[in-house]
């Protein structure tokens, strides 16, 4: 049944790549954000096919849900839908695309010259499926220290976001205090 899987993969890969290209070339930032949601949702389907159901659900809820809503919220808050269309250096875009394609082709050439990587197709019973239980087991045993470190990172990010947006109001409060003392 490999053919069916190639068809599923091809269709989804086509949707993903087209949505990614549209995300880059869309003039309106809101359209870009919605195309990115399409990319993330189809990646979630890939994750399901690769036996990672928990990560697929987190992808939908966290990326396509929370993070993209945050993006759309900021775009609409700033009214920045059409900002930044013009390029200061016109030669920069073709150079960037050309260099990126060149690097990818060089990498592909390097890969094709190395020994092929053997992938073993295990029977279904022997595959470690990424359920919430399995990931939790790994997270609270082997990965316990990184898990705690990441919780501190989230706290720091939260404080950082609050400080970054509060700065202005603190300046205003200081100015007001100065006015009162005068």
Q: Least CB distance from residue 120 to another protein, whole Å?
A: 8
> Site size for another protein, by CB under 8 A?
87
For the chain, give me the number of helices (H) and strands (E)?
Answer: 7, 0
Contacts 24+ apart (CB under 8 A), 47-52: 49/5, 49/8, 49/9, 51/127, 51/128, 51/129, 51/130, 52/129, 52/130
User: What is the C-alpha separation between 94 and 17, in angstroms, rounded?
Assistant: 19
Q: Is 182 in the site for another protein (CB under 8 A)?
A: no
Candidate residues 7, 11, 62, 173; the one interacting with another protein per rule CB under 8 A: 62
Q: Is 34 in the site for another protein (CB under 8 A)?
A: no
Report how far apart, in Å, the C-alpha atoms of 26 and of each of 29, 75, 88, 153 are.
7, 14, 18, 33
Q: Which is nearer to another protein, 76 or 177 (CB)?
A: 76
Judged by DSSP in three states, 180 sits in: helix
Q: Is 107 in the site for another protein (CB under 8 A)?
A: yes
Candidate residues 144, 156, 173, 177; the one interacting with another protein per rule CB under 8 A: 156
Candidate residues 54, 57, 60, 65; the one interacting with another protein per rule CB under 8 A: 54
Question: Of 111-150, which residues contact another protein (CB under 8 A)?
Answer: 117, 119, 121-124, 126-128, 130, 134-135, 138-139, 142-143, 146, 150
Q: Is 18 in the site for another protein (CB under 8 A)?
A: no
């Amino acid at each position: 049944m490999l053919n069916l899987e190639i068809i599923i993969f091809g269709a989804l890969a086509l949707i993903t790549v087209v949505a990614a290209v549209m995300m880059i070339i869309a003039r309106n930032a809101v359209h870009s954000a919605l195309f990115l949601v399409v990319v993330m949702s189809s990646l979630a389907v890939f994750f399901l096919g690769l036996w990672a159901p928990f990560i697929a659900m987190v992808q939908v809820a966290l990326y396509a849900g929370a993070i993209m809503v945050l993006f759309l919220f900021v775009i609409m808050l700033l009214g920045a839908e059409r900002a930044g269309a013009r390029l200061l250096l016109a030669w920069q875009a073709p150079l960037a695309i050309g260099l990126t394609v060149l690097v990818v082709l060089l990498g592909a050439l390097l890969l094709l010259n190395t020994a092929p990587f053997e992938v073993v197709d295990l029977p279904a019973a022997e595959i470690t499926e990424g359920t919430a239980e399995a990931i939790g087991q790994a997270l609270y045993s082997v990965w316990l220290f990184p898990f705690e470190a990441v919780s501190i990172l989230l706290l720091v990010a939260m404080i950082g976001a609050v400080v970054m947006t509060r700065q202005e109001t603190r300046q205003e409060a200081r100015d007001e205090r100065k006015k009162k003392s005068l």
